[in-house]
Amino acid sequence: MNSKDNTNECTSSALNIKSDPSPNVKSDHYFENGYMVFTAAYHIRRGYCCKNGCRHCPYGFRKKQ
């Protein structure tokens, strides 16, 4: 684990998942109030945390309010 942040060391290579950042599978996202919301499955396949405070972040990142 990186001492700079407190996110989980959960990457696509650690999970043996092929990395493909495009949301091309129906279960990768859904629309809510006109916004595309990415699922945890998409984030895991993408392979890293973007640190934007995504609703379904599987890496445990939460933005400070």
Mean pLDDT, residues 5-14: 44
Is 33 a residue whose pLDDT tops 80? yes
Q: Are 11 and 47 in contact (CB under 8 A)?
A: yes
The arithmetic mean of pLDDT across residues 3-10, rounded, is: 44
Who's near 48: CB < 8 A, 6+ residues apart? 11, 59
Residue that wins the pLDDT comparison between 51 and 20: 51
**In terms of pTM, does the model score above 0.75?**
no
Q: Is the pLDDT of residue 19 over 80?
A: no
As a whole number, mean pLDDT of residues 1-20 equals 46
